[in-house]
Structure 1
Amino acid sequence: MSNQDLSIAAKLINGGVAGLVGVTCVFPIDLAKTRLQNQHGKDMYKGMIDCLMKTARAEGFLGMYRGAAVNLTLVTPEKAIKLAANDFFRQLLMEDGMQRNLKMEMLAGCGAGMCQVVVTCPMEMLKIQLQDAGRLAAPHQSSTSAPSSSRSYTTGSASTHKRPSATLIAWELLRTQGLAGLYKGLGATLLRDIPFSIIYFPMFANLNNLGVHELTGKASFAHSFMSGCIAGSLAAVAVTPLDGKYGRI
């Protein structure tokens, strides 16, 4: 195995492990984000903390991880595709993918964002359905005649006031809408993931490059970690309005 192949394999493993750890650590915050985005002006939750507290009281601690299994299953192939695609396009657009060229780095990030939606779109579709199930179920628990606006917004005839599974939702979508059902919201997903990758990959590469030691040719773990945090935070802030649009489809 060549050093380049080993490097790519290491990046894929690191990306997969990082994705699994990230999902485990921040999934409750992601759940709160989804439920706050999908309130549709009903003010069920006053904010993130209020949402998490009400979720924990109504659904237990594990309720805050509703839909996490979908992400834990699909986050590794998602990160693998994203990282591999970014490296591929960097190699294609720049000699050895090493020199600093902001425009080419942004194009490589654009390509990575386009490729990852193959996994991201169905993953987000199923995750959001499961995350929002508790919020949609609340009116049914307090009243037997819930308004029609509390019904699911993607599965059609699938009922969501009973706790659905990812398998049930996926099967219902495939049965009623075909493969296109799993890729509903593809346009909004592209509008979110492409700008994110365009911002994240070049920013991380350039920030990380600032900490490269002359002797080792590598940045320290702490510097790389902070570079990733800064790049990821700024990219996430930039695309949050588009992420909210996806959640409402």
Structure 2
Amino acid sequence: MELSLAHPVIKAFMCGCLSGTCSTLLFQPLDLVKTRLQTLQSPVQLGSSRVGMVTVLLNVVRTERLLGLWKGVSPSFIRTIPGVGLYFSTYHSLKEHFFHEKNPGALGAVLLGGGARAVAGVIMLPVTVIKTRFECGKYRYRSVAEALCSVCRTEGPAALYSGLTATLLRDVSFSGIYVMFYSQMKTYLPKEISTWAPLANFSCAALAGLLASLITQPADVVKTMVQVHPALKTTDAVRHIYVEHGPRGFLRGAVPRSLRRTLVVAMTWTIYEQTMAYLGLKS
């Protein structure tokens, strides 16, 4: 069956998969550096109280070679490609059923974005846990399948859902805030800008992504800590981060995460919007 003849939800899913593939491949190194900063697994941190993004980046290249920056890309692909597809297909379905108007408004956008992310986040959480462990450098898994089997065998299946609360707090909040900023910004764009639609979409998405990233950064630090150390509860992780690093500990990895999330959502939504428009659908 040709894609042009497929159901709109299928089209949204395929557009999401395409945009997720492009963004994951390009920006995986930033995600790895962010995880290393948050979990303090990099050897260069021994004896040093402050380590920046560039230091971790250079250390990974020196000790694990250039391809080491793409460690965790396999689980990232397995999580992101269907995950983004699921997110956008859910987003499209919710918008069609509950928000028939073009712009759902600020509160509607928060509920729309948060609802779509909650569905995708819960379904894809086991792969998210494995992805985080691949990136942190503490675990030596050789493949995603081996990692899944190892976690189930040694820690039990429940470990694959470690950090669920923190993950949903981060992802649902991020998506809701992002969609709100993004949709509201687009309402102020002049009608004559249609010729520059891709650039306009990218700019709105980038700014919305930056704001949402900064607001949800503390939840991301807690999520990473719980997934790398599954014995910790969310409240224990919050306490540990505060005691060990103070309030600034909740901003660890903020630079690479904000940079990556901003670029990822900008590229993902721009590709999604343009592909949906090409297929005759509006997002």
Q: How many residues align?
A: 221
- Structure 2 letter corresponding to 1:226: S
Question: CA contact under 8 A between 2:29 and 2:70: conserved in structure 1?
Answer: yes
Q: CA RMSD in A?
A: 2.8
Is 1:230 matched up with 2:207?
yes
Higher relative contact order by CA 8 Å / sep ≥ 6: 1 or 2?
2
Post-superposition shift, 1:163? 5.0
Q: What is the aligned counterpart of 2:71 among 66, 70, 77? A: 66
Post-superposition shift, 1:176? 3.4
Q: What is the aligned counterpart of 1:81 among 86, 91, 97? A: 86
Deviates more, 1:49-58 or 1:198-207: 198-207
Post-superposition shift, 1:212? 5.6
TM-score (norm 2): 0.69
Question: CA contact under 8 A between 2:103 and 2:183: conserved in structure 1?
Answer: no
Superposition pairs of residues 1-249 of structure 1, within 5 angstroms: 8-39=9-40, 43-44=45-46, 46-94=51-99, 96-133=100-137, 136=138, 160=139, 162=140, 164-211=142-189, 213=191, 220-249=197-226
TM-score (norm 1): 0.78
Provide the rounded CA distance (Å) in 1 between the counterparts of 2:18 and 2:156: 32
Post-superposition shift, 1:4? 11
After TM superposition, the runs of 4+ consecutive aligned structure 1 residues lying more than 4 A away are 1-10
In structure 1, list runs of 5 or more residues that go unmatched: 137-159
Question: CA contact under 8 A between 2:83 and 2:120: conserved in structure 1?
Answer: yes
Provide the rounded CA distance (Å) in 2 between the counterparts of 1:223 and 1:215: 8
Provide the rounded CA distance (Å) in 1 between the counterparts of 2:78 and 2:32: 17
SS of 1:46's partner is coil
Provide the rounded CA distance (Å) in 1 between the counterparts of 2:75 and 2:210: 23
- Structure 1 letter corresponding to 2:129: M
The verdict on how the C-alpha distance between 1:177 and 1:106 changes in structure 2, with shifts beyond 3 A counting, is same
Question: CA contact under 8 A between 2:16 and 2:87: conserved in structure 1?
Answer: no
The verdict on how the C-alpha distance between 1:23 and 1:33 changes in structure 2, with shifts beyond 3 A counting, is same
Deviates more, 1:8-17 or 1:176-185: 8-17
Provide the rounded CA distance (Å) in 1 between the counterparts of 2:21 and 2:157: 26
Post-superposition shift, 1:219? 6.6
Provide the rounded CA distance (Å) in 2 between the counterparts of 1:69 and 1:100: 36
Provide the rounded CA distance (Å) in 1 between the counterparts of 2:156 and 2:113: 30
